[in-house]
A = this chain, B = another copy of it.
């Protein structure tokens, strides 16, 4: 499988998680943690409302699950695919989990924490800085989010 196909397939799985989150009444965001040898370790969508947990963003739910499976609070060498730019909470969790690479879909000027505002990875308080690749699957991610918020109005 080409590297490009791998990107597509793993972001597609994150988008599936976003669609499943939407069906549960959550903001449609999904995330996938991938091992150094390319296997999906965990996949999750937003669970904030269902779990009454403001920290249950897709990224944190996927990271927690991968850490539980691997028996470690760190995920060195692992990648994270997420359909939306991580917020500051998730960006900092990604750094603390030592995720190697972050691939995200849509930019989030309103609430993002990677390329916006606090730019969590850009300060010495971020003890680990992942490689960041943006815009992957962004069109479909944005479509899902816009449709969700349009229905909320």
Contact = CB atoms under 8 A, between A and B. Distances in A.
A4 interface: no
A88 B87 CA distance: 10
Count copies of this chain in the complex: 2
Contacts of A28: none
Interface in A95-153: 96-97, 110-113, 116-120, 122-127
User: Which size bracket describes the interface of A in this complex?
Assistant: 35 or more
A118 B48 CA distance: 24
Question: Interface of chain A, helix or strand or loop or mixed?
Answer: loop
A52 interface: yes
Given A89-B89, A120-B118, A96 B54 contact: yes
A3 interface: no
A20 B97 CA distance: 24
